[in-house]
Amino acid sequence: MEMVGQEVEHALYGQGRIVQNEDNRIEVNFPGTDESKKFMYPEAFEKFLSMSNPESQKRVLKDVEAMQQERLAKKERVELEEQQRQEERAAAKTKKPAARKPAAKKASAKSKKAESETPAT
């Protein structure tokens, strides 16, 4: 949607006009302010901004809803990953340590070495 030139309403600054839209950011000029204000898109339309044109507002609200669904999906993924990590940690704590092999081979090797070092009489 082409946003440049569209009018918006801000909760604090009042009526303004979008002068730039790129990289999920919009820039808005408000009468009576020294410089334009920059906002994240569509985040700013959750609370602070609204489009003056009803059709444009509907499109923006669809973008806001998509963003919210994406946030929720990400939150669910993070929670699932954390739950899996916790389950893995719990399983590791209850897992029995591997049985150790008897040290017979080491002892046998030591005794052979000792026999070879003993002087013959």
Tell me the C-alpha distance between 34 and 83, whole Å.
Answer: 50
Of 48, 38, 40, 61, nearest to 12 by C-alpha is 48
For residue range 7-30, what is the model confidence (pLDDT) as tens digits?
A: 999 999 999 999 999 989 999 999
For residue range 71-81, what is the model confidence (pLDDT) as tens digits?
A: 999 999 999 99
Under DSSP, the state recorded for 24 is T
Whole-structure pTM over 0.85, yes or no? no
What tokens does 16 get? 């303004």
**Three-state SS at 112:** helix
Total length of the chain? 121
Domain boundaries, the chain: 7-92
